[in-house]
Structure 1
């Protein structure tokens, strides 16, 4: 197999563990130049070196290295007419002797499912409760709990479960601040967030610092995305800027306090010198990106703030306002847990990156990289250097 067909996730995993190239070289018993050559793709490691690297990082060889084959193609019949003529995300199924392609558009792109229960018991405000197990206890040990608002988290979770069949990812849809507080209360392993501090011109770090309490957290990038105004198809009122939200006949829906979308709307209105009371629907609250898109797509409102990928999925017009960085916040001790390591190991894989890029509006150039390590009770954060 040609050398350029071999891909690796070595740099992302090394940085998440806070190791320099020299640190890893010493533990694995190889030279620093070897580490640099493997990470850059200029050197294909021998079986011995690959095993040493995996052992040093506490993971499997297949978590570090994989072969990228040419993407196969099949002939499929569209399940319904799609007049867009654009490239679409598709779901495929074999029906009889034909492959059928189902367009992932609108509500079809986001499935609601009844989730099988792991147990049952009384649920109240008590500090603990007795739960009757309905599934094998061993399976529950392979669960990672992920909180955040972007549907891309669910997409990532399902892709990771395919790669690691024993892994279970439980995703809860929470806005950025709610997810962060849940992380600090010990309710989830990973919190996803996209908040911007105008004073420092930094994403997420200052908010993590403020809520962190007595924990050390690592911020890992999921991707960067375009945030802005989603508008009814065809933009019938010809909206061109945030200022147009005050025009007669324009109404919006807003997100709840603590969400990145609401923060962006408030900041954009303030920069434009617009009083929020001048925007009809500012106090009309829905929870989640999909609810915003559904309200616009069904004609209930004219516009709302979300991402380019959600707009594309619902066939809505999009007016960009800000490129936001979406980070995954993880308490440092959780990085040692095997299920968390398995989930994070998939971030740099081409299969996951391709899924994110196919959504539209996503920049995956930093996906899987450690953005910052934030220490408690301090106004400083240490940022990892790129090698």
Structure 2
């Protein structure tokens, strides 16, 4: 609530969180209920004495109750994607490579299951891709943030487990396919990119793609594990699908992933190996953008199959046809390895609680979790 144009307070939210009525607080603070009502509504600016009494009654500091709007700090940040000109936009913030990065909380990016709290509000665009952001959270919390882009559910499980040991550490997870995550790392928008891409020409996982995308930059690849990739099908595999060519022979309808995703690259590679033209596969151009959406398409009957992982099949109670085993790696620029939040996060890869979370997912071999598999 604002008072006197710029004086703000959160008296009501603190009072209600403590289960107090206006009269309860008035009795403890030695003021009238009308005073409490006037302060909360912004109709009355309290004196120093009343402010101190209210703070004491609520067990907090005066500055936790009252502040001037102009006292909220601002930072200049680089946007990760365009936002409408002249519109205020909620953003998440993190410090990456010496600059503030703003991640617009717009559309699907504003949600996981629940709405994501904002770190700040973008006030106005400065030039082409910079904004002035009014902070809504503590600066220390924002500094202690690690940003990861990737597409595996393992990242969110790892993040939650890590935050239990390091309560001051925050892990910001941006959903992105492997190539999009790598490009985001190259642009300096994230600390870590997760990827699972196979290069049939070299027989290597991820490394050739990292060398090409991060040309001239030094990076380290740390593995999370090897996961099973294949076709999600209805329980019991009623159509009897065993290969990708069966999809055409049996008239199955699929959903596909977007270009740049490991799942799409796997499907295209298998189709080429079995000499099946892409256009003969029903649903090849029906694009969804996550492993979860592939599973939901099969569960709902929209599709007969789609490429994802064994752990996703287990989570949704679906059948699974193994096509490939892929190594999932974390790609980190060397310059970020010395940052304390990144070190804290990586140190937990060897912890038993993290490993047990991955083991129960199914379809993961984590015997080499945390190993450095390449230095670029």
TM-score (normalizing by structure 1): 0.67
337, 348, 357: which is aligned to 1:355?
357
Aligned-residue offset at 1:240: 1.8
Q: Deviations over 1:71-102 (max 9, x none)?
A: xxxxxxxxxxxxxxxxxxxxxxxxxxxxxxxx
- Number of residues of Structure 1 aligned to a counterpart in Structure 2: 265
TM-score (normalizing by structure 2): 0.69
Question: Given the alignment of the two structures, is residue 190 of structure 1 paired with residue 192 of structure 2, yes or no?
Answer: yes
Aligned-residue offset at 1:249: 3.9
Structure having the higher Rg: 2
Higher relative contact order (CA 8 A, sep 6+): 1
Aligned-residue offset at 1:129: 1.2
Alignment partner, residue 344 of structure 2: 342
Q: Deviations over 1:41-96 (max 9, x none)?
A: xxxxxxxxxxxxxxxxxxxxxxxxxxxxxxxxxxxxxxxxxxxxxxxxxxxxxxxx
Look up the SS of the partner of 1:187 in the other structure.
Answer: coil
Look up the SS of the partner of 2:256 in the other structure.
Answer: coil
Q: Residues 345, 123 of structure 1: CA spacing in aligned structure 2 closer, same or farther, 3 A cutoff? A: farther
Alignment partner, residue 120 of structure 1: 121
Question: Given the alignment of the two structures, is residue 323 of structure 1 paired with residue 325 of structure 2, yes or no?
Answer: yes
Which protein is richer in strand relative to its size? 2
Alignment partner, residue 81 of structure 1: none
Query: Residue 231 of structure 2 contacts residue 320 of structure 2 at CA under 8 Å; is this kept in 1?
Result: yes
Look up the SS of the partner of 1:359 in the other structure.
Answer: coil
Look up the SS of the partner of 1:300 in the other structure.
Answer: coil
Moved more, 111-120 or 185-194: 111-120
Q: State the superposition RMSD in angstroms.
A: 1.3
Q: Deviations over 1:319-360 (max 9, x none)?
A: 001100000000001000000000000001111011001100
Alignment partner, residue 291 of structure 1: 293
Alignment partner, residue 222 of structure 2: 220
Distance 1:123 1:271 in 2: 51
Aligned-residue offset at 1:122: 4.0
Q: Residues 186, 123 of structure 1: CA spacing in aligned structure 2 closer, same or farther, 3 A cutoff? A: farther
Distance 1:111 1:189 in 2: 20
Distance 2:124 2:251 in 1: 46
Q: Deviations over 1:194-253 (max 9, x none)?
A: 000001100000000001132100000011100001101222212122111103441000
Gaps of 5+ in 1: 1-109, 375-387
Alignment partner, residue 265 of structure 2: 263
Look up the SS of the partner of 1:355 in the other structure.
Answer: helix
Aligned-residue offset at 1:123: 6.7
Structure 1 moving runs of 4+ over 3 Å: 122-125
Alignment partner, residue 173 of structure 2: 171
Q: Deviations over 1:278-337 (max 9, x none)?
A: 100001100011110110011110000000000100000000011000000000010000
Query: Residue 233 of structure 1 contacts residue 297 of structure 1 at CA under 8 Å; is this kept in 2?
Result: no
Query: Residue 123 of structure 2 contacts residue 134 of structure 2 at CA under 8 Å; is this kept in 1?
Result: no
Distance 1:123 1:157 in 2: 32
Look up the SS of the partner of 2:226 in the other structure.
Answer: strand
